[in-house]
Amino acid sequence: MKRILLVALLLFCGAGLFAQSVTVNDLANISNLSNAEAHNYLTLGKKFKRQYIQDVDGNSIEHLNKIGPDNKEETVVIGVGSKLSSGAVLRTVTYTTSTSQHIINLIGQAKHMGLKMRLQGADAKNDIYIFDNDFFHIVMFLNHDNVSGSVEVHQKEYLGFD
């Protein structure tokens, strides 16, 4: 019995060593932050580093990446957004990984968080999962080759009453 518990503990700890760096909650939180705040959150807390910045229509789009101990790459793109007439900015955060298990974990997290699944389908290249709530529209892509995938978190305009 002790051996079984020891093996289970080792497997659990070993699985944690190669876990993805961000959660669905992290990605949703990042979409609520300014570019500078999101950069700090990722570089200080999650150990990502700036890969490059590109200027697109006057917006600074920042690409950050992390290479894990197993040489599996994870990338987060921040700075994409659309400006509303009110002056508010709705941000989009994109996470890409070369490890399909990370996307499978994120799909499970979204279901566990109670996000409503609007679509589970496929196109020629990807399995597609769309989750939604009042604040976010989340699209997850898992390549059919089961090698990689991505997540897009789109912040929604919230029409609250004061």
Per-residue model confidence as pLDDT tens digits over 63-102: 999 876 766 789 999 999 888 888 888 999 999 999 899 9
146 located within any domain: yes
1 to 11, 12, 13, 96, 123: CA distances (angstroms):
16, 17, 18, 41, 47
Residue type, 49: K
Q: Which residues of the chain have pLDDT under 50?
A: 1-18, 161-162
State residue 8's pLDDT score.
36
- Domain contains 8: no
In the prediction, which pLDDT does 52 show? 93
> Domain of 96?
19-155
Whether 54 maps to a domain, the answer reads: yes
Q: Is residue 110 part of a domain?
A: yes
157 CB contacts (<8 Å, ≥6 apart)?
84, 88, 90
| 116 domain residue, yes or no | yes
Is residue 30 in a domain?
Answer: yes
- Of 41, 31, 36, 29, the C-alpha closest to 53 is 36
Asked if 156 and 89 touch (Cβ cutoff 8 Å), the reply is: no
Residue at 124 is within a domain: yes
Residue 83 within any structural domain of the chain: yes
Calpha distance 10→118 (Å, rounded) = 37
* Number of structural domains in the chain: 1
Q: Report how far apart, in Å, the C-alpha atoms of 64 and of each of 31, 47, 119 are.
A: 15, 10, 29
